[in-house]
Amino acid sequence: MNADRLPPVAPEVTATLVEGLSPRLRKRLDAAVIKLAARPVHRDGDTTTIEVDDETELRLHAPGGVVAQVEDVTCGCLLAPACVHRAAAACAAPTADLVPEPAEQPTPEAAGPASADADAATGAGAGAVATHPASVTYQATAMVPASATHRSSGTDSLPGPGPAPGLTPDAGPAPPETATPDQRAAADALWAAGAAVLEAGVDGAGAVAQSALLRAAHTARLRHLPRAAGAALSVVTLLRAARAGDPSYRTAELVTALAELLGTARRVATATGTELAAVRGRVRRPYSPDGSLRLYGLFTEPVVTDSGHGGVRTWVAGADGRLFTVGDVAPGSVGRALGVADRAVRLGDSALTHRELGRAGLAVSGATVSPDGRLGAGKSVKAVTARGAAWTEPPLAALWETPPAEQAARALRSTSRYADPDGTGSDLLFLDVELLGAVREPGGTCLLALGEGGVPVRLTAADDDPALAHRDNLALLAAAPETRLRIIGRLIPAAHPRLTLLACSHPTGEGTIDLGLDRLRRADLPDPAAPAHFAPPQPAGPGARSPLYLLERRVEQTVPAGRAALGMLGDVTAETRRIRRGGLPTAAGLLTALCASAAQRERDHFGRLLPADTDGFAAYWLAAARYSAAVSESLCSAAWNPTGEVQGVSGGPPAAAARPAV
């Protein structure tokens, strides 16, 4: 049975079914989930039937596409409704994204079809909803990993009519807003559930531990903490992928999701004012009016996600240099991405296709824009085709005039793993480079280019799918050393300058190439007969020699096997000594404290082991994870700077992330 064939189940439905099991049945739950996954599934309208055995059927009723009530899961066995089958089916099904109905939810006119692609790609759009007595609706979409969703929360709701923020009538400034007692309690429950997962590791975080996370996530969303609740659902999704052996699962993604969950839950109690708004998060991104815009096309990129969505995203720039996107992403695969590229853009009265818009222009009136630059396409939006601009002409030429180091720092602020999700900024870089040739790396071959200031930049394919043109185009460009190109790429955070190559000027100097959609030919190269050229080995930068990986691997090692795996390491003096020699004393102290906390087990007066300090261990692990991310981003920023200066990226010096009270 493929879990995708089951309808999404509301988090509190799964939690309630698991909590209703007897202790004996809870121990059998994980085995029941595996056994049920091998049974046939049939869908008839809103009802999905699982054949438990030759005589017993289990039904999931999903009006609107989501199982929103406990009573919607029924089983025909003799032990029902107290059987293990109902809970096992809920645990095997995708988790529905629960969405409170906030007053600031964008209207259909403000969001429109163009906003739907953003929500579809992040698991936050599309699909009918079912009303629940607790004023919660559920979307018929499974959560996707945190690396695809964690920046879509935005900030808290916009202030409504009334006095200006921070002021009360006939009074002085009001004290900053703080979390309510209910919100603190919900955050504490999320922290406890996340710490329990960290204690047990992936191997021990079965259906019971996941149901505790789902219950805490549901409570947090009801208490208006959507950012932490979303992180909890992402952790559950990644845990299920890890335990099922999903080839797309990556331990680093679960590390990020767990650190986001624990860090956000910890900050709820101390955050005030605007920080509290960011910690709370926003369920849906708002689309706000932006008047009239004159837009110039840059390029179009295919979008194919692990969550089963396909389409395209076209990037345009305003007269002031701001970047915007117009997309069309929906459930589908690479075939849909290739087909949608030649469909008309759903924006106003324009008849341009996405490919054409990437090289033309638009004049838009009544524009609506989300914080991350997505253009809405409501009824009030009017758009007509206008003249575009070459990359060497204003206003587009100004994008390439910003120094690469500044562009990289801006992109890192946009992609930082633990930054408050304000939804602003872009991870694109605009560079003038000279191609040097291919470079062999452990993960494959990439294209080496020389950027401004003599900084070597590694260019990789955005997608290896042979149906897309990325890989073949990169191989052809490797056969054109000394060719100078104007390129657009997406930053890859690494210890050396690295980009996924998305678009470039044509090697002949005329026009541009969308490297995922347009295919270069050998005749387009300056020397059509030249074979692929391999550049000489490049010296490793200072970031590549950093011993930070010694701390990072211990942080990652905890997630699959839990605290016990770290507690058995023994003496880590040699590792901490090497880290100190590398100039990272805070990292050395964190590694020592983390391993000591993992190994610490106290005994009572009778010599019996006392329960482990899961809270203390989780705090040290969180500090180590946040510190490692901050230092990695600073090393990445320094790699793009010819002077080698390390700049803070995540809002403060890396050492600030080392406090266990994060």
**How much is the pLDDT for 171?**
54
CA dist list (Å): 145 to 9, 121, 256, 495, 545? 17, 11, 10, 24, 30
**How much is the pLDDT for 652?**
38
Radius of gyration from C-alpha coordinates of the chain: 26
> 526 phi and psi, to 5 degrees?
-60, -35
**How much is the pLDDT for 172?**
59
Q: Going by DSSP bridges, is the β-strand pair 456-461/498-505 parallel, antiparallel, or unpaired?
A: parallel
Cis check: omega of the bond before 81, within 30 degrees of 0: yes
Joined tokens for residue 106? 């964008």
Q: Phi/psi class of residue 342: alpha, beta or left (left: φ > 0; alpha: ψ in -120 to 50)?
A: alpha
> 439 phi and psi, to 5 degrees?
-135, 130
Q: What is the pTM of this model?
A: 0.80
CA dist list (Å): 129 to 100, 106, 220, 255? 11, 16, 20, 31
Joined tokens for residue 300? 């179009």
> SS3 helix, strand, coil % of the chain, rounded to 5?
40, 20, 40
DSSP H or E stretch at residue 589? helix 585-599
Joined tokens for residue 579? 């880290």
CA dist list (Å): 103 to 38, 141, 553, 560? 43, 22, 44, 40
Token pair 């919900």: residue: 186
Joined tokens for residue 87? 């809970």
Question: Which SS3 state, helix, strand or coil, does residue 157 take?
Answer: coil
DSSP H or E stretch at residue 434? strand 428-441
Q: Is the torsion defined by CA of 221, 223, 226, 227 positive or negative?
A: negative
Residues in the chain: 662
**How much is the pLDDT for 542?**
55
Question: Which SS3 state, helix, strand or coil, does residue 552 take?
Answer: helix
**How much is the pLDDT for 299?**
97
Distance CA 41, CA 39 (A): 7
Q: 32: which residues sit within 8 A by CB, 6+ positions away? A: 84, 85, 87, 88
Cβ atoms of 539 and 631 within 8 Å: the answer is no
Cβ atoms of 445 and 431 within 8 Å: the answer is no
DSSP H or E stretch at residue 432? strand 428-441
- In order along the chain (662 residues), what is the average pLDDT of each group of 10 residues? 76 94 94 90 91 90 90 92 93 76 35 40 34 42 36 33 43 78 96 95 94 95 93 94 89 94 94 90 78 94 85 95 92 91 87 93 91 85 92 96 92 82 78 92 86 90 93 92 94 91 91 94 82 69 75 94 86 92 94 90 76 89 94 90 57 38 40
Question: Which SS3 state, helix, strand or coil, does residue 52 take?
Answer: coil
Cβ atoms of 404 and 452 within 8 Å: the answer is yes
Q: 212: which residues sit within 8 A by CB, 6+ positions away? A: 15, 193, 196
Distance CA 598, CA 659 (A): 17
Write the secondary structure of 177-242 as one string of H (helix), E (strand) and C (coil).
Answer: CECCHHHHHHHHHHHHHHHHHHHHHHHHCCHHHHHHHHHHHHHHHHCCCHHHHHHHHHHHHHHHHH
Tell me the sheet residues that pair with 58: 50, 75
Torsion angle of C-alpha atoms 621, 626, 627, 630, degrees rounded to 10: 160
